[in-house]
């Protein structure tokens, strides 16, 4: 199953709002506020790579108050 980690920068002070919006997206399996360069990290998975790309592009990146993202697509799972 295709999976990606999405690192998200939010508008200042809107980390909680973005986190709650992410949790409403079914394909977002986990989401956390973090310290550092990024504000939120989300684990996203889907049945196909095309669906994964669609979710990141049309749902995660389009959330209000998301300023930028960096998507890391997983190429190999844990054993």
Q: pLDDT at position 78, please?
A: 66
CA distance 53 to 44: 10
pLDDT at 77 over 80: no
Domains in the chain (CATH in brackets) are 3-73 (3.30.70.920)
The predicted model scores a pTM of 0.92
Phi, psi of 37 (to 5 degrees): -65, -35
Residues 6-41 have pLDDT tens digits of: 999 999 999 999 999 999 999 999 999 999 999 999
- pLDDT reported for residue 79: 60
Contact 8, 41 (CB under 8 A): yes
> What kind and span of H or E run contains 50?
helix 49-55
Contacts of 49 (CB under 8 A, 6+ apart): 2, 73
User: What average pLDDT does the structure give for the chain?
Assistant: 95
């Amino acid at each position: 199953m295709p999976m990606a980690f999405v690192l998200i920068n939010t508008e200042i002070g809107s980390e909680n709002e973005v986190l709650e919006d992410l949790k409403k997206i079914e394909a977002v399996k986990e989401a956390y506020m973090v310290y550092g360069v990024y504000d939120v990290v989300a684990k996203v998975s889907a049945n196909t790579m095309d669906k994964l790309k669609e979710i990141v592009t049309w749902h995660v990146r389009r959330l209000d108050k998301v300023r930028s993202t960096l998507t890391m697509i997983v190429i190999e799972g844990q054993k």
